[in-house]
Copies of this chain bind each other. A is one copy, B any other.
Amino acid sequence: MHLLLTNCNTTEAMTKDIVAGAQEAASPGTTVTGLTPAWGPESAEGWLDSYLSAAAVLDLLRGHRELYDAVVLAGFGEHGREGARELLDVPVVDITEAAAHLACLLGRRYGVVTTLDRTRGQIEDSLHTAGVARNCAAVVGTGFSVLDLADVKERTSAAFLAAARQAREAGAEVLVLGCAGMTGLQRLLGRELDMPVVDGVAAAVRLAESLVGLGLTTSRAGSYAKPLAKRRDWGPPGA
């Protein structure tokens, strides 16, 4: 089985990290190719970035000609998944919803620990429209930006641990990592708090495999019908 994974930002190093995590999480026989958008934000933090990212990721997907069995959208809380479902004939799994789906199977309430506080609203909305917000006890920010995560391991660890404790206090029995590319944190939180910690990338890889394995793909009956044929310009004139 072959999965396509799209980063939500233009930072290639991050794509590489995420693909490594995805490959590690995949079943034997599954290969994962990572794609980095040719345009968009260098990191997605907030709605402006998220909408820019959504268009860039959809542009990336529509232009990709090689064959693949399913797509993993690796932007936590980012927009775009419904558009990808319209566009493609293969299953599309977003890491936000994926993490929540598996978390629901592991405890009665889950909590999300994420980067900047400003992204909490987006994540809540994304979980809501995905239909899995009900068991979410809290979305807690750490104050660290996406690009910080690469650098300041020690301070981020402490901040994520504090956020996780706050989520547990709010009723979470399972933790969800609200950002891609946090493998180290996953181990730390699990060990320190003795709670299951779900990484969205890993969850999405397994869910994508599940859908492919069962021969299931996106419904065309309603919301996710094929896009109508029409003129669409994917970027400023002159591009």
B-contacting residues of A (Cβ < 8 Å)? 10, 25, 27, 38-43, 45-52, 54-56, 58-59, 79-80, 82-83, 85-87, 91-93, 97, 101-102, 104-109, 117-118, 120-122, 125, 128-135, 145, 168, 171, 173-174, 193-196, 198, 202-203, 206-207, 209-211, 213-214, 216-225, 227-228, 230-239
Q: Within the complex, which residue of B97, B173, B214 is in contact with A202, where a contact is CB–CB below 8 Å?
A: B214
Does B193 contact A221, Cβ atoms closer than 8 Å?
yes
Which of B52, B82, B171 is A55 in contact with, Cβ under 8 Å? B52
Asked whether B233 lies within 8 Å of A39 as measured between CB atoms, the reply is yes
Is A108 a contact partner of B227 (Cβ separation < 8 A)? no
Q: Are A214 and B51 in contact (CB under 8 A)?
A: no
When distances are taken between beta carbons in the complex, the residues of chain B under 8 Å from A43 are 230
B235 touches A106 (CB 8 A): no
**Known interface pairs A40-B233, A59-B236, A232-B41; A223-B108 also in contact (CB < 8 Å):** yes
Which B residues touch A207, using CB under 8 A?
102, 105, 210
Contact A106:B216 (CB < 8 A) given known A46-B227, A48-B58, A236-B59? yes
Give how many copies assemble into the complex.
Answer: 6
A87 to B114, CA, bound (A): 22
Q: Which B residues are CB-close (under 8 A) to A48?
A: 58, 83, 86-87, 227
- 5 extra interchain contacts, Cβ-Cβ under 8 A, other than A25-B214, A59-B236? A10-B231, A27-B213, A48-B87, A118-B222, A235-B235
Given that A118-B222, A221-B195, A230-B41 are contacting pairs, would A104 and B132 also be in contact in the complex, using a CB cutoff of 8 Å? Answer: yes
CB neighbours of A145 from chain B (8 A): 228
User: Smallest distance from the beta carbon of A49 to chain B beta carbons, Å?
Assistant: 7
The chain B residue with its CB closest to the CB of A212 is B206
Instruction: Select one of B45, B51, B106, B223 contacting A80, CB under 8 A.
Output: B51
Contacts of A85 in B (CB 8 A): 47
Distance between A56 CB and nearest chain B CB, rounded to angstroms: 8
Q: What 6 A-B pairs are tightest by C-beta distance, nearest first?
A: A235-B235, A239-B239, A131-B135, A55-B55, A206-B210, A107-B219
Contact A227 B173 (CB under 8 A): no
Q: Which residues of B contact A122 (CB under 8 A)?
A: 82, 223
